[in-house]
Amino acid sequence: MPKESLLKTLPLLFLLTACQPATDTPGVTADTPATSAIPANETPEQQAARLQATFPAQQRPPQDPAKVAMGADIYGVNCRACHGQDLRGGDLGGPNLLRSELVLQDQAGELIGGVVREGRNVPGNTVMPALPLSDSEVQAVAAYIHSVAATARGQGAPPPGTEVPLDIVAGSAASGTELFGQLCSSCHSASGDLAGLATRIPDPETLQNSWVAGRVWNQPVNASDPRRMVTVTVTLDNGERISGRLGRRDDFIVSLTTEAGDYRSFSLQEGSPAVTGLEINDPLARHLELLRELTDDMMHDITAYLVTLK
């Protein structure tokens, strides 16, 4: 069926959506192909991706782009109103096709075709009208739907779609200024260490993660930076006290590197001489404590203030 005549089915679709029972159209018959074969022109990259893909929807060989484009056009005209621009369901009540049992089990239109041409009436769901599409049109729509499903991401996450920019800055900068004074100013200052913070970390989400965690988010931490260096002082039963940068610590052993660069380790259970005291100083401990005290509003307000520190 040429594209022009498809457009004519559009009013029919809306008419039928009301509550028309499915008509008695025959399903897809002899010309339905089996699972698409792997095309000879598959690139090594495409092959590698297919072999790494976890599930059948992503393991499919790439479809013929012309067929997918044709299917996208047919979908736009016949299916989008109910099933949505992104196939995840639409305002008219059509279900999400990307998690549909029938779509996921369809290979090349043999299941999708039956529903398209016979319609569907599942109690509790919007009635789907029968659509008079040819076999090649059905296969094109199926190819399009499968091509979208193939872009779904891991753990069931939908295809990326169009990025909707979201503004995470929702708090009150005025209240944030006050909170900063109460909670942060004993260690930090807006004109000192945090001057230009929002210029250094322009993304508000990264900025929020960074100030809450007490380190620049997704950046390696410099463990010897004095502002974040964890130090330890070990006291032994012979009276000796050894201080330095904390190495490893568990219930059994503590290790440190002294200012002179000497590595020392001590058994906490049966050391000789025995460890009688252990003082650990973590300059970021306050940030961890804050996690128990911060409400979401406080966090958002402080972020709203910090994003102004350009």
Shortest separation between residue 280's beta carbon and another protein, angstroms: 9
Shortest separation between residue 1's beta carbon and another protein, angstroms: 29
Shortest separation between residue 9's beta carbon and another protein, angstroms: 25
Judge whether 33 and 108 are in contact, CB under 8 Å.
yes
Would you say 60 or 67 has its CB closer to another protein?
Answer: 60
- Contact residues: another protein, CB under 8 A: 51-57, 59, 84, 88-89, 95-96, 98-99, 101, 104-105, 123-125, 152-158, 164, 166-171, 205, 208-209, 212-213, 217, 248-252, 269, 287-288, 291-292, 294-296, 299-300, 303
Would you say 58 or 134 has its CB closer to another protein?
Answer: 58
Shortest separation between residue 6's beta carbon and another protein, angstroms: 26
Judge whether 207 and 197 are in contact, CB under 8 Å.
yes
Would you say 9 or 80 has its CB closer to another protein?
Answer: 80
Would you say 96 or 136 has its CB closer to another protein?
Answer: 96
Q: In whole angstroms, give the CA distance from residue 139 to residue 71.
A: 8
Would you say 12 or 268 has its CB closer to another protein?
Answer: 268
Q: In whole angstroms, give the CA distance from residue 120 to residue 159.
A: 26
Shortest separation between residue 251's beta carbon and another protein, angstroms: 5
For 124, residues 6+ apart whose C-beta sits below 8 A from its C-beta are: none
Would you say 71 or 84 has its CB closer to another protein?
Answer: 84
Shortest separation between residue 37's beta carbon and another protein, angstroms: 14
Would you say 78 or 210 has its CB closer to another protein?
Answer: 210
Shortest separation between residue 179's beta carbon and another protein, angstroms: 14
Judge whether 130 and 22 are in contact, CB under 8 Å.
yes
Would you say 84 or 133 has its CB closer to another protein?
Answer: 84
Beta pairing partners, 243? 233
Shortest separation between residue 310's beta carbon and another protein, angstroms: 20
